[in-house]
Amino acid sequence: MRTEVGIVGAGPAGLLLAQLLDLAGISSVIIEARDRAYLEARIRAGVLEWGTVEMLREAGVNARMEREGLVHRGIDLAFRGRKHRIDFESLVGKTTMVYGQHEVVKDLIAARLERGGQIVFEAEDVGIENYEESSTTRPVIRYRKDGVEHRLECDFIAGCDGFHGICRPSLPESALKVYERTYPFGWLGILAEAEPTNDELIYANHERGFALYSMRSPTVTRLYLQCHPEEDLKEWPDERVWSELHRRLEDSDGWKLKEGPILQKSVTAMRSFVAGPMRHGRLFLAGDAAHIVPPTGAKGMNLAVADVRYLCRALERWYRHNDMAGLDGYSDKCLARVWKAQRFSWWMTQLMHRFEEATPFEHEVQQAELDFITSSRRGAAALAEQYVGLPFDD
Ligand code: RFL
Ligand code: PHB
């Protein structure tokens, strides 16, 4: 089998790349380890930056998002029992869209298949070869499907296979510089069939730990609690989850959280991770394959979309004009944005969580920072500008 761009992974990065390449007249095939139903049910991110919304429009996969997505004009920061609104629209003139990552994935898979694009689901033992600069033969993605070995020959490989994929670990250790930070807590997340009672997200810094109030639709609420990174879900029956959410989120205004049947419950560890460069010969890493952020800044999927935007434009430049400049500049361009998002995600994380080892001094400094951000227009604008997403330079 032959194609121009071989893509490993059908997450938001791989799927969007395939769609954008197709619209630019460049062929691709996606090799994915899981089945379609699994990808379409995997509950993850929910907040789209305005630039991500525009990319989905450019890719022509926006129809359902425009109908069902929820436009958000601000967020609330809660601390010391009170909510404080950060009004994105008046501060920076932009909004975000709340629309589940799995809905984006469903729309992208449908669009791909409708246009006759190829996604190989349930591929086993996926491996990559000949992507090195020194290789004299074409890059290959090999995999097994239904017991039969296959080889996909391509001009370039896009490693969009997430944090646990095979592309990044295929590289020799000496080829990558890794930057990492782990946090001493995780998030216990639930999805509940309950009507949201606040129109916007609430990020709460509470003495019992951080809590986040989010949503997916007019009937589904998404909620998170700061917990131990290896928290045992067996210790969290539904009643305990709700009781903790009420304590951390409800405030002195009398605002009340609405309960409903819990549809899903999980624990996520929190880490910051960057591996660079993002290009090695004819292999280009994109999305979680190259970087992870703690979810507090809602940046993970948005960064994956930003990488793919740069990669698609660079590939177009190569196929149309025989010009390598975009591909040569890919890693630096992505990493400049990645580090800004890393900084923001780290900052939001240390601003909103309770750190057990924090001294009373550090605790007061954190509360003063929250006070500053919510009482200064410029302080609030800096948060808003980054939360809605920094502009692209081209
Ligand atoms: P993905 O989505 O992990 O997709 C990678 C795909 O590659 C496949 N794969 C392989 N395929 C073939 N061969 C192999 N050997 C393979 N190994 C893996 C996988 O099956 C998968 O289909 O990476 P991608 O495309 O880079 O997308 C990144 C995003 O998924 C991620 O950054 C976000 O979900 C992070 N995130 C959030 N991001 C936001 O922008 N806004 C948010 O509000 C937000 N909230 C979150 C989040 C992530 C969370 N969790 C669970 C980690 C909230 C949570 C709780
Ligand atoms: C979500 O709705 O899943 C969500 C929202 C905001 C975040 C993280 C996750 O910062």
Mean pLDDT across the chain? 97
pLDDT in tens, 274-311: 999 999 999 999 999 999 999 999 999 999 999 999 99
Please say whether the beta carbons of 139 and 155 come within 8 A. Answer: yes
Residue whose structure tokens are 């939360």: 387
Do the strands 28-31 and 5-8 form a parallel or antiparallel pair, or are they unpaired? Answer: parallel
Do 290 and 278 form a contact (C-beta atoms < 8 A)? yes
Q: How far is the CA of 96 from the centre of ligand 2 (A)?
A: 12
Q: Give 394's pLDDT tier (boundaries 50, 70, 90).
A: confident
The whole-number pLDDT of residue 16 equals 98
What tens digit of pLDDT does each residue of 39-73 get?
A: 999 999 899 999 999 999 999 999 999 999 999 99
Pair of tokens at residue 258: 């609405």
**pLDDT of 33:** 98
Mean local confidence (pLDDT), 123-142: 96
Specify the pLDDT at position 96: 98
Residue 341 pLDDT > 80, yes or no? yes
CA atoms within 13 A on the CB side of 204: 26
| Integer CA distances (angstroms), 2 to 22, 27, 28, 327, in order | 15, 9, 9, 21
pLDDT at 105: 98
Q: Are 112 and 16 in contact (CB under 8 A)?
A: no
Ligand 2-lining residues (CB < 6 angstroms): 45-47, 201, 212, 214, 222, 295-296, 298
Query: Within 10 Å of residue 92's Cβ, how many Cβ atoms?
Result: 20
Return the pLDDT at 251. 83
pLDDT score of 273: 98
CA dihedral 113, 118, 124, 130 (to 10 degrees): -150
Instruction: Reply yes or no on domain 183-270+354-388 having CATH 3.40.1350.10.
Output: no
Report the CATH number of the 5-73+95-180+271-348 domain: 3.50.50.60
What are the pLDDT digits (tens) for 94-117? 999 999 999 999 999 999 999 999
Portions of the chain given CATH number 3.50.50.60:
5-73+95-180+271-348
Identify which of 124, 122, 130, 158 has the alpha carbon closest to the alpha carbon of residue 143. Answer: 124
| pLDDT at 243 (0 to 100) | 98
Cα separation values, 388 from 182, 212, 385, Å: 25, 17, 6
pLDDT above 70 covers a percentage of the chain that reads: 100
Cβ-based neighbour number of residue 198 at 10 Å: 17
Question: What pLDDT digit, counting tens, does each position of 305-319 carry?
Answer: 999 999 999 999 999
Q: Which residue's alpha carbon is nearest to atom 6 within ligand 2?
A: 298
Q: How confident is the model at residue 393 (pLDDT cuts 50, 70, 90)?
A: confident
- Ligand 1 in contact with 165 (CB < 6 A)? yes
Confidence of residue 253 (pLDDT cuts 50, 70, 90): confident
In the reported structure, the alpha carbon of residue 390 is separated from the centroid of ligand 2 by a whole-number distance in angstroms of: 18
Rounded CA-CA distance 199/368 in Å is 27
Annotated catalytic residue: which of 131, 183, 310, 387?
A: 387
238-242 average pLDDT score:
98
Beta bridge partners of 74: 87
Domain with CATH 3.30.9.10 in the chain: 183-270+354-388
Of the candidates 12, 196, 294, 295, the residue annotated as catalytic is: 295
